[in-house]
């Protein structure tokens, strides 16, 4: 089976507290987009990951796809293995949920390949053990996430809009950003106002409503983030901001034409630049194909 594992953006993100174990409590509005990685599964006696030549993708259990496969095998005493072929398009360390999307695809793919019979709710519970964004990446669409990101309120997908996504610098680790985050000085995000703006289809309302409380901290670490936001706005974006804990930013456009024009301006400056649009689901599986018994 081959699965498209879609990235996500955060329309808005607020940090509302901190648990005793050090995890920060969030209130965030997450949206699937059509930028995706491809995850393929081949029957095998062992668990391994392969990627295209030259890809900067770890092949051990530091990769969430492998970690997920190992966890499922151990939890359900599976005697089979799998070769996972991963084609990366979602930038790494970008705040776009690429690793979480890959993990979500592995959960769904192996649930079928290994005939585990897990429901979506059960898959999401396992996914939370891998990462806070994994449950959202399984269901996708538009959702308000609270807690550490695991409590999901699914919402109607808004009117179609187009995005240009840019990663203007090297990746950021979530831990690094949160370690410097000062909640008392941060600009708070109004998630209700953001939801109203996104749901209304009146894109001009997004300009003042969309806020990422982590953005000022990330800009201290990577000033290029601010430059990319300004560049997208100058290129015609209705609004632009950072996604997640960075380092990618996205600009919002009302037409494919205007997004394409902006992308043409961004691409010569930043190689990791993409045009995409919002999506109604996080994973797009294809049916099993004839080569499922062979390794790539």
Q: Which residues are annotated as catalytic?
A: 8, 133
3-state secondary structure the chain: CEEEEEEEEEEEEEEEEECCCCCEEEEEEEEEEEEEEEEEEEEECCEEEEECCCCCCCCCCCCHHHHHHHHHHHHCCCCCEEEEEEECCCCCCCCCCHHHHHHHHHHHHHHHHCCCCCCHHHHHHHHHCCCCCHHHHHHCCEEEEEECCCEEEEECCCCCCEEEEECCCCCCCHHHHHHHCCCCCCCCCCHHHHHHHHHHCCHHHHHHHCCECCHHHHHHHCCHHHHHHHHHHHCCCCCEEECCCCCCEEEEECCHHHHHHHHHHHCCCCCCEEEEEECCCCEEECCCCCCCCCCC
């Amino acid at each position: 089976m081959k699965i498209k594992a879609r990235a996500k953006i955060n329309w808005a993100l607020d940090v509302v507290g901190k648990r005793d174990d050090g995890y920060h409590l969030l209130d965030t509005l997450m949206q699937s987009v059509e930028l995706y990685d491809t995850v393929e599964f081949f029957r095998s006696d062992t668990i391994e990951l392969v990627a295209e030549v030259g890809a900067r993708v770890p092949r051990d259990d530091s990769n969430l796809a492998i970690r997920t496969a190992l966890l499922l095998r151990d939890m359900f005493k599976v005697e089979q293995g799998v070769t996972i072929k991963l084609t990366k398009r979602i930038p790494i360390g970008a705040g776009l949920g690429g690793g979480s999307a890959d993990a979500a695809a592995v959960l769904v793919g192996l649930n079928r390949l290994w005939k585990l019979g897990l429901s979506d709710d059960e898959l999401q519970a396992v996914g939370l053990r891998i990462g806070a964004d994994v449950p959202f990446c399984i269901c996708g669409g538009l959702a308000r996430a609270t807690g550490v990101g695991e409590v999901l309120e699914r919402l109607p997908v808004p009117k179609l809009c187009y995005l240009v996504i840019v990663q203007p610098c090297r990746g950021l680790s979530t831990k690094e950003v949160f370690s410097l985050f000062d909640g008392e000085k941060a600009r708070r995000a109004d998630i209700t106002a953001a939801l109203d703006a996104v749901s209304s289809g009146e894109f001009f309302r997004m300009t003042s409503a969309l806020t990422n409380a982590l953005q000022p901290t990330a800009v201290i670490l990577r000033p290029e983030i601010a430059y990319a936001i300004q560049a997208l706005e100058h290129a015609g974006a209705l609004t632009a901001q950072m996604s997640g804990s960075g380092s990618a930013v996205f600009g919002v456009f009302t037409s494919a034409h205007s997004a394409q024009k902006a992308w043409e301006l961004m691409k010569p400056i930043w190689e990791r630049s993409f045009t995409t649009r919002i999506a109604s689901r996080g994973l797009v599986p294809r049916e099993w194909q004839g080569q499922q018994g062979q390794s790539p």
